[in-house]
């Protein structure tokens, strides 16, 4: 049984990978992080499609938070001033704005610093991914 949350990200995207490395070095969140391409997703309770679509925060009990709420959970786990920002991201209307901002960045991550053309490949067309984008549920 896991005792720490797991942060699942897109290891094929340089922007995503750089963001996670930054968070690990500067924020020091209390979690394990792994690219979805190397994760055993079934025991985590997520599909390849969802993992390719958004950042995921999976609690030890199996609750899955995606997108901006995964970022909020990461910030909350970092403690200090970061946890205040994380808490704000969970409250309406900041939550709604954060969701929109997350989708904007995620959908255009190939244009972000560190982004590569591979970041622009739609989730359903990436190697190992099947189907279309799932809706964000958390």
Residue 117 belongs to some domain of the structure: yes
CA 77/CA 29 separation, integer angstroms: 5
Using a 10 angstrom Cβ sphere, with 0-12 exposed, 13-18 middle and 19 or more buried, the burial of residue 26 is: exposed
Q: How many folded domains does the chain comprise? A: 1
CA distance 38 to 93: 35
Q: pTM of the entire structure?
A: 0.83
In a domain, 68, yes or no: yes
Does residue 128 belong to any structural domain of this protein?
no
The answer as to whether 52 is a domain residue is: yes
Residue closest to 16 by CA, chosen among 39, 35, 42 = 35
Would 137 be classed as within a structural domain?
Answer: no
Domain of residue 103: give its range.
6-122
Per residue of the chain (138 residues), what is the pLDDT tens digit? Answer: 789 999 999 998 888 999 999 999 999 999 999 999 999 999 999 999 999 999 999 999 999 999 999 999 999 999 999 999 999 999 999 999 999 999 999 988 877 776 555 566 555 554 444 443 444 444
10 occurs within a structural domain: yes
């Amino acid at each position: 049984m896991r005792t720490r949350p797991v942060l699942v990200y897109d290891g094929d995207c340089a922007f995503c990978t750089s963001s996670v490395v930054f968070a690990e070095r500067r924020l020091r969140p209390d979690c394990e992080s792994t690219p979805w391409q190397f994760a055993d997703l079934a025991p985590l309770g997520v599909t390849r499609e969802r993992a390719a679509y958004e950042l995921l925060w999976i609690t030890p009990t199996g609750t899955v938070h995606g997108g901006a709420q995964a970022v909020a959970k990461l910030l909350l786990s970092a403690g200090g001033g970061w946890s205040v920002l994380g808490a704000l991201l969970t409250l309406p209307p900041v939550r709604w704005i954060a969701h929109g901002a997350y989708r904007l960045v995620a959908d255009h991550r190939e244009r972000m610093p560190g982004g590569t053309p591979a970041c622009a490949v739609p989730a359903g067309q990436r190697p190992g991914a099947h189907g279309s984008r799932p809706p964000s549920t958390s």
